[in-house]
Structure 1
Amino acid sequence: MNGFLLWALVLGPVLLAEGLLARYELLIYGAGWRTPTSELPSGVPYARGAEPDRPPAAYLVYLDGIGKRRVRDSRDGGQLVKALLEGAPELRVLGQVQPYSPLADPLADRPVWTWLRRRAGLLLFLHNVVQIFVAADHRYRPLYNRAVGVQIATQLQRAGYQAGSGVPVVLLSYSGGAQVATGAVELLHATLRCPLVLITLGGFHNGANDIGHAEHLYQLTSAADRIERVGTWLFPQRWRWARTSGWNKAARAGKVTTLLLDPATHVGPFSYISPTAELPDGRTHLARTADTVIRLIRARQNAIKDDTLP
């Protein structure tokens, strides 16, 4: 009990401060006091995979979960992106977008967070969790959607995407990245005039964003994913009776397909991207997830030709 009280005394003020300050970056963006950065560190490519000198089969933007702290990192050390590139070299893949920073400012590169990371790394995750709820808040959602939508569009164009080219853009999101992905649809549609496909992996989002301009959304989930289910319970826009929400309108229009990746969990040694947990067919959870994403992308491409879907 004493240990619990100590943690409460330490984290209580931190949680309060984070809750009060979480909006500051978005407000700075909205006021125009700082311009979002679009340059990447030296040696970091704008995309990997197919070369931009000829149109790739699709551009894939990976929006990671709350573990995203810098340009290069991801919760699995980049293993999912690597598996996608190995399995589908025809894709051009971007993994540098900062879903939890309207100013596209990597969290781990900020001096105060560098100091905190050495002493209280949990706060890095806490910051990104709070950003998800800022992005979902109806007061800030339009501005947040625009900020990160512009960031994604800019990175795509720097990676060689030509507006109006007809090359599909796939937004692959993990966990809270789904809130950002669904929020970026409107701006990407208007700015790049691109066919959009969304793939959520354990997607945690409020269901309020209008995804009507997306061709389709594939919801990859699992009965063992408790965190994803919390999102469906927590946000009323995900409830079936909320018929006017963006999520339910898309579902009624036949634009949402749910695929189960049982028995994967949201995080941990049996997560969707585990390189060690094995299925009865011998594949790892990571390999199955990558295979599924690639199959869905290729199915959409074939659908353009023959008007059929699996």
Structure 2
Amino acid sequence: MNVFLLWACALGPVLIAEALLARYEVLAYGAGWRVPVTKLPEGVPYARGAAPDGPPDAYLVYLDGIGKRRVRDTRDGGQLVKAVLAGAPELRVLGQVQPYSPLAAPLADRPVWAWLRRRIGLLLFLHNVMQIFVADDHRYRPLCNRAVGSQIATQLTLAGYRPDSGTPVVLLSYSGGAQVATGAVEELHNQLRCPLLVITLGGFHNGANDLTHVEHVHQLTSARDRIERVGTWIFPQRWRLFRRSGWNRADRAGKITVHRLDPATHLGPTSYISPEARLPDGRSHLDRTTDTVIEIVRARRSAPAATDDPVA
């Protein structure tokens, strides 16, 4: 009991500080106190894969989970992005978006956080977790959605995307990245007027965001993914009872397709992106996830474009 109280006393102030910092970024963006970062570090391209003059079959934006701290890092060392690029060279892929910073500023590159990371690495994850819950708060959600949607639109433009070109944009999101992907839809539609496809991989999101302007949502999930299942429990907008939530409206409109990736887990050696865990057909979990993503994107070419959500 004493140990529990000690942890509670230690983490309580940290969580409060993190919540305030997460809100500060949103408010700083909304008030115009700080300008979002657009320039990437030297040597980091705005996109990889197909050349922008073509145009590519699609632009794919990868939005990582809460482990995302800087431009270059991903939870799997970039293996999923590399695998998609290798398997679908016709795509132009962006992996540098900072989904948990309204100001598009890499967390690990900030001097204070760099110092903390060497001593209390858990704080980096708590910060990104708090950003998800700030984005769930109806008071801050519109600003969060506009900030990250604008960040993605800017990065796509710098990568060669032309508004009104008709080239599809695919938002591939892992875990908490699904909250960012679903929230960015409206701003991307407003700025780029592009066909939008959302793919969630173990998606942890509140279900409140409007998906009217999404052609389709592909939900990659597994019965062994406990973290995604927690999201369906704790966010009321994911419950069928809330029929007018963005997620449930999209579901009734036939815009959501579920793809089972059993027996993958959310994290660990048997996760969706594990290169070691093997399926009966010999493929790794990473291979199957990559194949599924590529099949979804390529199938979109022959499918008719969806219209806006007609379900009230």
> Do they fold alike, i.e. is TM over 0.5?
yes
Q: Using the alignment, how far apart are the partners of 1:7 and 1:116 within structure 2?
A: 18
Cα displacement (A) at 1:8: 2.9
Amino acid at match of 2:15: L
Cα displacement (A) at 1:2: 4.9
In the alignment, what sits opposite 2:186? 186
Cα displacement (A) at 1:241: 1.2
Which shifted more, 144-153 or 295-304? Answer: 295-304
Pairwise mapping of residues 119-130 of structure 1 onto structure 2 (< 5 A)?
119-130=119-130
Amino acid at match of 2:206: N
In the alignment, what sits opposite 2:308? none
1:16-35 CA-partner distances (Å, limit 9, x unpaired): 22223320011011110111
- SS where residue 303 of structure 2 aligns? helix
1:118-144 CA-partner distances (Å, limit 9, x unpaired): 001011000000000001111100010
Pairwise mapping of residues 181-220 of structure 1 onto structure 2 (< 5 A)?
181-220=181-220
Q: Using the alignment, how far apart are the partners of 1:21 and 1:193 within structure 2?
A: 33
1:164-195 CA-partner distances (Å, limit 9, x unpaired): 01110000000111011001111111111111
In the alignment, what sits opposite 1:281? 281
In the alignment, what sits opposite 2:295? 295
In the alignment, what sits opposite 2:25? 25
In the alignment, what sits opposite 1:114? 114
Pairwise mapping of residues 122-271 of structure 1 onto structure 2 (< 5 A)?
122-271=122-271
1:249-279 CA-partner distances (Å, limit 9, x unpaired): 0000000001110000111111100111111
- SS where residue 10 of structure 1 aligns? helix
Q: Using the alignment, how far apart are the partners of 1:210 and 1:223 within structure 2?
A: 26
Cα displacement (A) at 1:13: 1.7
Amino acid at match of 2:160: G
Using the size of structure 2 for normalisation, the TM-score is 0.96
- SS where residue 173 of structure 1 aligns? strand
1:1-54 CA-partner distances (Å, limit 9, x unpaired): 554444333222211222233200110111101110110011100000001121
Q: Using the alignment, how far apart are the partners of 2:234 and 2:165 within structure 1?
A: 39
In the alignment, what sits opposite 1:59? 59
Q: Using the alignment, how far apart are the partners of 2:12 and 2:210 within structure 1?
A: 35
Q: How much identity, in percent, do the aligned residues show?
A: 78
1:91-143 CA-partner distances (Å, limit 9, x unpaired): 00000000000000000000110011000101100000000000111110001
Using the size of structure 1 for normalisation, the TM-score is 0.96
Gaps of 5+ in 2: 306-312
Pairwise mapping of residues 77-92 of structure 1 onto structure 2 (< 5 A)?
77-92=77-92
- SS where residue 116 of structure 2 aligns? helix
Q: Using the alignment, how far apart are the partners of 1:8 and 1:304 within structure 2?
A: 53
In the alignment, what sits opposite 1:68? 68
Amino acid at match of 1:95: G
Amino acid at match of 2:260: L
Cα displacement (A) at 1:232: 0.6
Q: Using the alignment, how far apart are the partners of 2:54 and 2:234 within structure 1?
A: 44
Cα displacement (A) at 1:303: 1.3
In the alignment, what sits opposite 1:10? 10
- SS where residue 23 of structure 1 aligns? helix
Amino acid at match of 1:191: Q
Gaps of 5+ in 1: 306-310
- SS where residue 293 of structure 1 aligns? helix
Please tell me the root mean square deviation across aligned C-alpha atoms, in Å.
1.1
Q: Using the alignment, how far apart are the partners of 2:269 and 2:4 within structure 1?
A: 27
Amino acid at match of 2:229: R
Which shifted more, 77-86 or 10-19? Answer: 10-19
- SS where residue 22 of structure 1 aligns? helix
